[in-house]
Amino acid sequence: MGEGVQHKAAEALKSRGWLVRVYYGNKSVFTYCCIGTELLYLSMYILHFVTRSPNQELAHLIMGLSLLCIPAWFVKQIVNVVQFWNSAYSIAEYDCIRRSKK
């Protein structure tokens, strides 16, 4: 990726894997993954306190929400790892090119 090009830009996405292209290229997938991940974190935090209360219906509702959000969290984590790997590779490639010019 060139200098000044955003990782979400259409020209940058052409050189990325299919999952990253779908993640950034489809606003519905991107929104589901981002909101789903945050809702998972929030629901797990709330679940810690709700399971101690006598209202178990609320605990089941929060658990259901958590289960719906796990796929979003999983996809987002995979995309994070792919982006980390691509960034590390790009930095190493840049360093090799720069050192070969010296």
Q: What tens-digit pLDDT sequence spans the chain (102 residues)?
A: 455 566 666 666 666 788 999 999 999 999 999 999 999 999 999 999 988 878 789 999 999 999 999 999 999 999 999 989 988 988 999 999 988 887
Residue 3 corresponds to which tokens in the numbers above?
A: 């200098």
d(CA 50, CA 25): 37
Which pLDDT belongs to residue 3? 57
| 0.85 exceeded by pTM | no
At 64 the pLDDT is: 95
Residue 1 token pair: 């990726």
